[in-house]
Structure 1
């Protein structure tokens, strides 16, 4: 059952849980995520970054859409961190039901402007839009961002941003980083800032980059109003670490032998996230 993000997250908002947005990079990963979400009767967001989309190609999205349409659980196909209007238009034409336009590194008024333009074109065809305000850290490259350098979302500005753009959900910066934290850095969520944002903004809130945060912090974020949480690094680490182990047997060459144990390891992590976000059995609400 395919939905757009607005309809999917509204139910989560009303019932106090968060929906996992799992980034997938190939069909085996995608199918494994669908299997575990069906097993746990959990709604899901299939997130695909433009780099991932370039890798899997738009043609594979047609297969993803068919698989989702044949499933009993509610799901969204979401473009994660779209960087341009062209990427957004391509995603909509491909069949995505939700898009994110990430203008968080732009000047505030430029961020407002591009988000409003995307909302105008996406809403016209029933596609929902996610925006981002503030900047979270990054540990995915050599140029890492320390927690103390994060630009936290301003709650009053968040209200203005939501009202002027018309976005359907808002990604906020409260102390997370993309990727896995180095061992010498300890992430910490600012639940106080989250509470202030929640008071000012009525649309669902999104948390990006929570892979290294304590489960207790993520659980508290859900309790305090986060309704969508992006998961990429955690499931990919499980998937590819297992693949490295499997490939020690140099005689293996068939994907149908190599990939299944990797998918199973990924599914274990996904199941933990579903439970942590309180999304298990919530598909029954749709």
Structure 2
């Protein structure tokens, strides 16, 4: 069933788990994560970045909506890191039920102004809005982008931002980065900052850059109030690695998609199931 971001995350906040937001950059990834969520009885947010949408074209959203309308699990179609009011409006016009406006690189006042403008337009269309306060890091070549220096979310201004904008969920910066960390980097989440933000705010909190952080830190973040976690690199890397294995196996006649991709999808599904269990979203469909 197709739901909004507010609908899917309000239950997660009430029940104390995090909804997985998988970046579905292809039909194969989309089907793999949907199979995982149906098997685990987990709600899901299908996240699509503007760069992914540009590659896939608008028709891909219709495919995602079709799947959402033909399953009993809650599915939200979410625009990931919308960079402008125009991008967000386009997403709403083609059927997204949740949008993110990412103006975190702007001043607090400008972030408030554009986020408020998006909220007013999106809520009129019954679409939920996520915004970001603070900045997420960037480990390298990712479509999501980021900055080299993380600016942590200031807990003392988070609720003020929420009150001024009316956003439905807030992405916080506590030390995560988009992409997979280099081997010589040991990522650490500032759970102390998360604890303070959670105590001072009243809407679901979102963690971006959830790939490759230690499982124990992610699990702890969920228990401390994170209700949505974005996963992109982890599912795409295992898909790509398996595809390399298939292509390098020596069968020069292997060219049909239904020959090349099934094992890649299987590896993606395994990672998705692991994340679902880590986020404690398994067996939560019963609450919707």
- TM bracket, shorter-chain basis: over 0.9
Listed as ranges, the matches of 1:1-286 within 5 Å are: 1-141=1-141, 149-248=149-248, 249=250, 250-286=252-288
1:10-32 superposed Cα distances (whole Å, 9 cap, x missing partner): 00000100000000111111011
| TM-score computed with the length of structure 1 as normaliser | 0.97
Q: CA deviation at 1:68?
A: 0.8
How many angstroms apart in 1 are the aligned matches of 2:21 and 2:62?
A: 19
Q: Is contact 2:20–2:231 with CA below 8 Å preserved after alignment?
A: yes
Change (3 A) 1:144 1:35: closer
Superposed structure 1 runs of 4+ greater than 2 Å apart: 140-146
How many angstroms apart in 2 are the aligned matches of 1:46 and 1:210?
A: 15
How many angstroms apart in 2 are the aligned matches of 1:36 and 1:102?
A: 29
SS at the partner of 1:130?
strand
SS at the partner of 1:280?
coil
Q: Is contact 2:135–2:146 with CA below 8 Å preserved after alignment?
A: no
The size of the alignment, in residue pairs, is 284
Q: CA RMSD in A?
A: 1.3
Q: CA deviation at 1:144?
A: 8.2
Q: Is contact 2:146–2:178 with CA below 8 Å preserved after alignment?
A: no
Q: CA deviation at 1:61?
A: 1.1
How many angstroms apart in 1 are the aligned matches of 2:44 and 2:221?
A: 18
Q: Is contact 2:146–2:177 with CA below 8 Å preserved after alignment?
A: no
Residue ranges of structure 1 left out of the alignment (5+ in a row): none
Residue ranges of structure 2 left out of the alignment (5+ in a row): none
Change (3 A) 1:228 1:28: same
